Amino acid sequence: MKAYREMSREELTALKQDLDKQYEEVKAKSLKLDMSRGKPSASQLDMEMDFMGILKNTSLMSEAGIDCRNYGLLDGIPEARRLLGDMLGISPERVIICGNASLTVMYDAIARSMMFGVLGSTPWCKLDKVKFLCPVPGYDRHFAITEQFGIEMINIPMTPQGPDMDLVEKLVSEDEAVKGIWCVPKYSNPQGITYSDETVRRFAALKPAAEDFRIYWDNAYAIHDVFEDKSDTLLEIFNECEKAGNPDIVYEFCSTSKVMFPGSGISAIAASEANLKEIRQRLSIQTIGFDKLNQLRHVKYFKDIEGMKAHMKKHAAIMRPKFEAVLEVLERELSGLEIGSWIRPNGGYFISFDSMEGCAKEIVGKCLEAGVVLTGAGATYPYKKDPSDSNIRLAPTFPEPKELAVATDLFVLCVKLVSVNKLLESM
């Protein structure tokens, strides 16, 4: 394969003619495919149908001795705290089980800081300026939260080991307005990068200028391996924080949205005792308690973390051919062309693609024109502004493998076409 940038104008022009023709042919097929969101597929959901009757003809008492059908138990039932604690590798005492979405738990954590401050600090809404660090590319819904609250977002480049920690340390220690950082530490969205042990240790040892600085550790893909033979391991952060004398610096979040049913899962916030005490004090005014029957459903279904992990292997078996279908096309069609790069993740829900600078929007637009919906270009950056207009998030989980191959064929065609145009323009 010859790199595009080594081609002559004539070669590129001939290539363009050929690609244009191919594109028109695909367009004529009127595809209707969606690789835009990290949604489980119907076949993943189908395998969980036993869940629906799991509470029929069984005791609805929690091991705490209370009736799960009635009011009470703000922290959640002990058996659910244990299950999600085990998912994160931490003690159940650290865990409060919440509602159906960790997104809400994160939103509310920031809302509380806005309205009430953190362990006695000034409420953020009383400050002139609040800033968050945002490793990029990252999760669009994180950025949407901080944007809604008017929090200034600062891009932090990702490296293969996690966020650029030199920059994180500098900004966190120098600027009192920096109150938090969004992290997806395992199988990051969208790159699938797992933070290295050193990165986790450097997070745990941060010396923030702001006493109310917190790491928002969204461990969304804690047990979401995709490939059987290789899986990433994330160092447990609370343990490191304690060692570093920084027990209160992190809020951790997780949910079963991508373990069981999206939208009908259970979620959790985990934190130090001091943080939990404050959270409970606020939370007890916002709710009498979360849905304990749904907590019980999850516990009865999985029994324990081993049951949950066994279940995740079934998800992986369904997802693996999908990831492979996309990666196979990328590798076959784009290797050596030097018009894009991508990371082969071991888990998570996404494949991240970087085009030549200034091409992402156009590639996504071309795909859409031919019937394939991708996540909007820029979505992986704060304010939807990718400064180099190059990152595209591919979400291979929802369509079937055959559809994915078709969609990815179109995608690589668009990558080629837009790249050729770009190179011709700049000649």
User: Least distance to a copy of itself from the beta carbon of 50, Å?
Assistant: 9
Q: Which amino acid is at 234?
A: L
Could you give the count of Cα atoms lying within 13 Å of 352 in the half-sphere of its Cβ? Answer: 25
Verify binding: residue 103, a copy of itself, rule CB under 8 A: yes
Q: Which amino acid is at 424?
A: L
Dihedral in degrees, nearest 10, Cα atoms 364, 367, 371, 374: -40
Verify binding: residue 141, a copy of itself, rule CB under 8 A: yes
Q: Are strands 162-163 and 152-159 parallel, antiparallel or unpaired?
A: antiparallel
Verify binding: residue 39, a copy of itself, rule CB under 8 A: yes
Verify binding: residue 67, a copy of itself, rule CB under 8 A: yes
Which residue's CB is nearer to a copy of itself, number 127 or number 167?
Answer: 127
Q: Are strands 95-98 and 131-136 parallel, antiparallel or unpaired?
A: unpaired
User: Least distance to a copy of itself from the beta carbon of 292, Å?
Assistant: 6
User: Least distance to a copy of itself from the beta carbon of 70, Å?
Assistant: 5
Which residue's CB is nearer to a copy of itself, number 91 or number 286?
Answer: 286
Token pair of 371 as six digits? 């019937």
**Of 17, 43, 122, 148, the one binding a copy of itself by CB under 8 A:** 148
Verify binding: residue 45, a copy of itself, rule CB under 8 A: yes
Residue recorded with tokens 């979505």 = 379
Sign of CA dihedral 36, 39, 40, 41: negative
**Of 13, 16, 22, 99, the one binding a copy of itself by CB under 8 A:** 99
Which residue's CB is nearer to a copy of itself, number 144 or number 368?
Answer: 144
User: Least distance to a copy of itself from the beta carbon of 66, Å?
Assistant: 10
Of 364, 370, 363, the closest CA to residue 415 belongs to 363
Which range, of 11-19, 96-104, 152-160, 406-414, touches a copy of itself by CB under 8 A? 96-104
Three-class DSSP category at 214: strand
Verify binding: residue 101, a copy of itself, rule CB under 8 A: yes
Residue 398 has what DSSP assignment? S
Residues 255-294 contacting a copy of itself, CB under 8 A: 261-264, 282, 285-294
- Burial category of 74 from C-beta neighbours within 10 Å (exposed 0-12, middle 13-18, buried 19 and up): middle
User: Least distance to a copy of itself from the beta carbon of 56, Å?
Assistant: 4
Verify binding: residue 123, a copy of itself, rule CB under 8 A: yes
Token pair of 90 as six digits? 């931490």
Please check whether residue 285 is in contact with residue 293, taking contact to mean a CB–CB distance below 8 angstroms: no
User: Least distance to a copy of itself from the beta carbon of 124, Å?
Assistant: 10
Q: Give the burial string for 144-183 (b: 16+ CB within 10 Å, else e).
A: bbbbebebebbbbebeebbbbbeebbebbeebbbbbbbbb
Which range, of 60-68, 164-172, 189-197, 321-329, touches a copy of itself by CB under 8 A? 60-68
Which range, of 143-151, 229-237, 331-339, 399-407, touches a copy of itself by CB under 8 A? 143-151
* String marking each residue 291-320 x if it binds a copy of itself according to CB under 8 A: xxxx--------------------------
